[in-house]
Amino acid sequence: MIAEDEESNFKYLKLALRNTGINIIRAKNGKDAILQCKRNPGIDLVLMDIKMPEMDGLEATREIRKFSETLPIIALTAYAMADDKDTSIDAGCNDYISKPVKRNRIYNVLDKYL
């Protein structure tokens, strides 16, 4: 699943993943990400934007962890501050990718968690 509110960022990620054969589900905000994870227990990995409307990705991750402790959640953020990675990991994310996202980094993360 890709949890991303910005259309251009979602399209870039979808394009980067098109040759992988991965079925992509989109969530446009944190609340939708939680709902999609509950409705689709077969989701194998979440790319979670941190800054989203209604509920940010960190809070959504904390909520998802209440019912899914093992689902790999990868934080995505354009605001790469020194402590963002630690904050993301503390919230329950398994890994962290800063934007702009490089395709090789996405593939490395997929190889690591899938």
Question: What mean pLDDT comes out for the span 71-86?
Answer: 84
What number of other Cβ atoms are within 10 A of residue 83's Cβ?
8
- Type and span of the H or E element at 33: helix 30-39
* pLDDT confidence tier of residue 38, bands split at 50, 70 and 90: very high
Query: How do residues 12-26 score in pLDDT, each as one tens digit?
Result: 999 999 989 899 999
Question: What mean pLDDT comes out for the span 62-82?
Answer: 90
| HSE value, Cβ hemisphere, 13 Å, CA-based, for 73 | 30
pTM over 0.75: yes
Query: How do residues 91-109 score in pLDDT, each as one tens digit?
Result: 999 999 988 889 999 999 9
As given in the structure block, the two tokens for residue 44 are 């194998």
Can you list the domains of the chain with their CATH numbers? 2-105 (3.40.50.2300)
